[in-house]
A and B are shown apart, each in its own frame.
Chain A
């Protein structure tokens, strides 16, 4: 029986290997170049065996994985070494001294990071932290609200351009009045957040009643329009060249040299990440958070219970946009230069991937996903050009085999802590199978 199945699987894999060798032949084996209007084709035969062998092995693994996935069914990732490890980690963290010492170590690492590793690594970490804020913000929209937003980069752009334009137009006045332009950063930070939130609310208000997939596409359209407007209104935004020489934040009236400025921005970024986590957790664990949870489960029932869906969606949209605005200011401050190319659709999709791969709805997931996606290509340079390819594959694998992501959400469930009941009837005592 087992033997027959193995044989069948091998035969199928062989057929699939042949199929992929055929499918990928023109694109991977042949290579085209065009000189003076005529297409020339070169063959790279040496690749063919590799393709065939890889397709054979992968298809074998893929089929096994699908079977395993199906057999596992709807059961949440209960078993498995990773789940066991997380469970053990969670129970360990529940013990107070362990939790405290782990937090202390983490805090110490975060605090000494810029001094221990220098400016280069600090700057990489700042970029990663900006993505962490973005991912946490998008996680509010996608994870809590269940709304797919493919135009998230637009709010990121609103933030960055708020600071950029503030500098461009109000900066000279500041200098003339003898006030440090470094203060602009602190004005821009809340302004950008609020502006992005308002922007998010205005844009989303007319479209929130749309179905999920339509909403995703319409946000994509919004995102692209915002980018095109930035690109084409050169007189105001500097067009494709953008805005440069944006000041870094000053330290209490003190203009810092680049190295110290990087350290300073790093700490600001860390503080903002902490603030974001705090806010998201508070919201998750509240009346609003519960309503969002219910909305994702069943919109019709939720609305019938008196929950205003449009209002809830609006709130999540604006909140998500708020953090994107904040992250935008940080980006402008760190790079001192912004242009529309930083806010393309692929930027939105990268953040989405961080959320999905990390674990939709999960705060550690958003943090882990963003760090993974931003740090790996920095430290595995040879892989950098395959980055998007690998991300794409990773995203599909996660969505098929581990839909709750690498760091799944562990939602706090409301329970009643008092004596269970006077009668003492246990849930199973009804003697009836749970059906649904």
Chain B
């Protein structure tokens, strides 16, 4: 039971990070029906930016909490900027083209970003200094839930609530939902769909950046390739929950996190990365619309 609880909690922490990345996938897919293959890379860039800016500020003698705050802020700003630029550069010109064209373009972007970081920074794993505080009140239960995991959980929960409220109640949220339903119709009633699409990429990328900083602090290391695996897993989570659905992405992420934790704990740790793929295959075969996804009928 002890062992189970430990695995369950670490799975929950993992799941909440996947959720931060999965939200970007699901929002983009909901609005432009594109699997944004480069989303994982945006998350990796978030991690790198935090490492660089954090390192710069820390060595200048700034106080740790301020370093943490500013490095997260920098990660969010730069990742969002990357997300925005990628959409304008590689996806917008292909919007009216067959779906697979944009997917291929996304794969290209993914390769470019990985290699830019590889060539301009390093191919080695770098250890990632964590600026997250050690929370005193968690000391008694540290074996089950450490500070980093706790912070991840709380941050994800807060972001989730804010995001849901934004999409439900603000004007922009309404515009987003309208665009997701019917792009042309939304345009006719005066929604600036280019703006909505850009905003979707910006929000998704910003969330990925927060996820990037958190997971790098948690794992304690970073390299140019981390975005790929995390990206694929988050995508799996989004599909599992029902792509296009925000609560679905969160639910899917937790299920994936738990499966991975329990699977590595009880079955085999050799296949840690394989669990996600097996889930993906099963869900696509059995229920391609995901747990909370809507059944989409093609119009004939």
Contacts and interface: CB of A to CB of B under 8 A. Distances in A.
Whether A and B touch directly in their complex, counting CB atoms under 8 A apart, is answered as yes
Interface residues of A, number: 57
Nearest to A44: B120
B274 A228 contact: yes
Given A27-B120, A221-B277, A210 B288 contact: yes
> What is the interface residue range for chain B against chain A?
35 or more
Contact of B93 (A32, A33, A388, A400): A400
Given A221-B281, A222-B281, A392 B101 contact: no
A395 B280 contact: no
B48 A26 contact: yes
A266 to B, nearest CB: 30
Interface in A104-150: 146, 148
A238 interface: no
Interface class of chain A by DSSP: helix
B54 interface: yes
Nearest to B129: A37
A386 B277 contact: no
B100 interface: yes
Interface stretch (A164-172, A212-220, A286-294): A212-220
Given A34-B127, A386-B115, A389-B111, A39 B81 contact: no
B127 A217 contact: no
Contacts of A207: 281, 284-285
Contact of B111 (A206, A224, A356, A388): A388
B65 interface: no
Contact of B119 (A30, A211, A221, A386): A386
Contacts, number: 173
B202 to A, nearest CB: 13
B272 to A, nearest CB: 9
A206 B285 contact: yes
A224 B273 contact: yes
Contact of A225 (B103, B235, B274): B274
B127 to A, nearest CB: 5
Contacts of B93: 66, 69, 400
A396 interface: yes
B5 to A, nearest CB: 28
B103 A213 contact: yes
Contact of A389 (B34, B78, B119, B276): B119
A100 interface: no
B64 interface: no
A118 B298 CA distance: 58
A220 B119 CA distance: 26
B111 A39 contact: no
A69 B93 CA distance: 9
A210 B284 contact: yes
Contacts of B104: 148, 352, 356, 395, 399
Contacts of B128: 34
B94 interface: yes
A38 to B, nearest CB: 6
B273 A228 contact: yes
Given A356-B104, A403-B101, A349 B111 contact: yes
A218 B81 contact: no
A40 B122 CA distance: 13
Contact of B108 (A33, A212, A214, A396): A396
A33 B59 CA distance: 12
A216 B100 contact: yes
A22 B74 CA distance: 12
Contact of B85 (A23, A27, A393, A399): A23
A345 B232 CA distance: 12
B121 interface: yes
Interface in A1-50: 19-20, 22-24, 26-28, 30-34, 37-41
Of B111, B232, B280, most buried by chain A (CB within 10 Å of CB) is B111
Contact of B120 (A28, A33, A392): A28
A27 B277 CA distance: 31
A385 interface: yes
Given A23-B78, A393-B108, A225 B121 contact: no
22 contacts: A24-B116, A26-B52, A31-B120, A31-B121, A34-B55, A34-B129, A37-B127, A38-B55, A38-B59, A39-B51, A148-B104, A212-B100, A217-B35, A218-B280, A221-B276, A224-B277, A228-B270, A228-B273, A392-B110, A395-B105, A399-B104, A403-B97
Q: Closest 5 interchain pairs by CB?
A: A39-B55, A392-B111, A221-B277, A389-B115, A392-B112
Given A26-B53, A388-B114, 9 more contacts: A23-B82, A27-B120, A31-B121, A34-B128, A39-B129, A217-B35, A222-B277, A392-B107, A400-B93
